[in-house]
Structure 1
């Protein structure tokens, strides 16, 4: 797996692109790539994406 976060987000597995097209999954992939080998608890991901007041739908999106 190869992930690049500087410039446009790029992620490849076996030469094929695996970058999600939807915004939130792209943000999550970027965040996880910035912290390789670390567990990111869901509340931490939610705060990074939505701030301190996530919408009601945050757990389902």
Structure 2
């Protein structure tokens, strides 16, 4: 996974962009990217998206955003013509 945070944010898996077009899922992805390899509490995500007054559906909506991100990443991983993983040995080596 390649993450670029300078300029326009970009996240690619195997060269395929996984940045959602909707603003709130994009914010979730950005927050998770900033805290890579760390647990990000649901409360922190909810506050980032809705501030101090989240709607009743905040938790369910957040789960939907995370599901959408997982689907984007899964599709990128399954994309035809994926680049070979760095640890795989090429032919003739």
Gaps (5+ residues) in structure 2? 62-93
**Aligned positions, number:** 61
TM-score (norm 2): 0.60
What TM-score results when the alignment is normalised by the length of structure 1?
A: 0.86
Moved segments of 4+, more than 6 Å: none
Based on CA coordinates, which of the two structures has the bigger radius of gyration? 2
Gaps of 5+ in 1: none
Two-structure CA RMSD over aligned residues (Å): 1.1
Q: Relative CO higher for 1 or 2, CA cutoff 8 Å, sep ≥ 6?
A: 2
Higher strand share: 1
